[in-house]
Amino acid sequence: MRIVNRVIKKYKMEDVVEGLKLVRSKIITASAKRDPEYAYFEPRLVAVSKIKPPELIVAAYEAGQRHFGENYVNELKDKAYDLSITEKCKDIRWHFIGHLQKNKVNKIISIPNLYIIETVDSKSIANALNNAYSKICDDNSKLKIMVQVNTSKEEAKNGCKVEELSELVEYILNTCNQLEFTGIMTIGAYGYDVSNGPNPDFLRLKKCKEDLCKDLCLDKKKVELSMGMSTDYEHAILLGSSNVRVGTAIFGERPKKDGQ
Q: What is the pLDDT of residue 257?
A: 46
What pTM was estimated for this model as a whole?
0.92
In this structure, what DSSP letter does residue 38 have? G
**9 pLDDT above the threshold of 60:** no
Give burial (CB, 10 Å; 0-12/13-18/19+) of 168: buried
- DSSP assignment string, 97-125: -S---GGGHHHHHTSTTEEEEEEE-SHHH
Q: What is the pLDDT of residue 188?
A: 86
The per-residue pLDDT for range 61-99, each reduced to its tens digit, is 999 999 999 999 999 999 999 999 999 999 999 999 999
What burial letters (b/e) apply to 11-40, b meaning 16+ CB within 10 Å?
A: ebbeebbebbeebbeebeebbeebeeebee
d(CA 76, CA 70): 6
**206 pLDDT above the threshold of 90:** yes
Max CA separation in the chain (angstroms) = 63
d(CA 120, CA 184): 9
| Of 44, 45, 53, the residue nearest 251 (C-alpha) | 53
Q: What is the pLDDT of residue 8?
A: 34
Tell me the pLDDT of the chain averaged across its residues: 92
Q: What is the pLDDT of residue 138?
A: 74
Q: What is the pLDDT of residue 256?
A: 57
The per-residue pLDDT for range 157-182, each reduced to its tens digit, is 999 999 999 999 999 999 999 999 99
